[in-house]
Amino acid sequence: MRKQGNVFLIGFMGCGKSSVASQLQELYQLDVIEMDEEIVRREGRSISDIFQQSGELYFRQIETDMLLKIQDMTGQVVSCGGGVVLKKENVQIMKASGTIVLLTASPKAILERVGKDDSRPVLKGRKTITDIEELMEQRRPYYENAADHVVTTEGKSVTEIANEIWKKLEKAGNE
């Protein structure tokens, strides 16, 4: 990737942002920032604890602080938390500092991936297809408004997804 800004992977929880980011790192030697991991490191506590002890607004503010730092970097693949697009300011920062790629998956596929994982406070007590469909519908306009590119993940390997993203970036002049 030419040093022309960053690539932000966005999408609903469990759509594969982290796996695709690692694959982009492996295949194309790109630097990766895992926002959730960075937040956990910085706070010294889990995401569930942050939500429980300090509230969602606090968590969302850390996301914004982190994006502001990333804004000064370039050439990074950023695997974002699924709710990052909910704040207009975050979308503005991302748009100003790179390209936003939306990964999508069906509620069924999402449920299969996140069903047994209790690390996501937003999904606590909301682990049915209907709950996920509902939340996904609520968030759909935010994701679609933010995205420069959309990549569906269903039925594709992470390698195929990473290659597809790379091609889109190349075509758009980010290579």
H/E element holding 152? Answer: strand 149-152
CB contact at 8 A, 158 and 23: yes
Site for ligand S3P contains 47 (CB under 6 A): yes
Site for ligand S3P contains 83 (CB under 6 A): yes
Looking only at the bridges linking them, the beta strands covering 76-79 and 149-152 are unpaired
List the one residue out of 97, 100, 83 whose CA is nearest residue 138: 83
Which residue from 20, 70, 120, 136 is in contact with ligand S3P, where contact means CB under 6 A?
A: 120
CB contact at 8 A, 150 and 9: no
**What is the torsion angle, in degrees rounded to the nearest 10, for the CA atoms of residue 151, residue 152, residue 156 and residue 158?**
50
Count of chain residues binding ligand S3P (CB under 6 A) = 10
* Stretch touching ligand S3P by CB under 6 A, among 75-83, 90-98, 143-151, 164-172: 75-83
Minimum Å gap between C-beta 140 and ligand S3P is 13
Contact pattern from residue 135 through residue 174 relative to ligand S3P, giving x for each residue in contact according to CB under 6 A and a dash for the rest: ----------------------------------------
Which residue from 81, 91, 107, 147 is in contact with ligand S3P, where contact means CB under 6 A?
A: 81
Contact set for ligand S3P, span 8-27 (CB under 6 A): 13, 17
Q: How far apart are CA 109 and CA 34, in angstroms?
A: 22
Q: Indicate the residue among 44 and 173 with the shorter CB distance to ligand S3P.
A: 44
Cβ-Cβ contacts under 8 Å for 87 (sequence gap 6 or more): 60, 63, 64
Q: Which two tokens stand for residue 159?
A: 């390698």
Which residue from 40, 54, 121, 131 is in contact with ligand S3P, where contact means CB under 6 A?
A: 121
Which residue from 36, 94, 99, 143 is in contact with ligand S3P, where contact means CB under 6 A?
A: 36
Q: How far is CA 54 from the centre of its chain?
A: 22
- What is the binding site for ligand S3P (CB under 6 A)? 13, 17, 36, 47, 81-83, 120-122
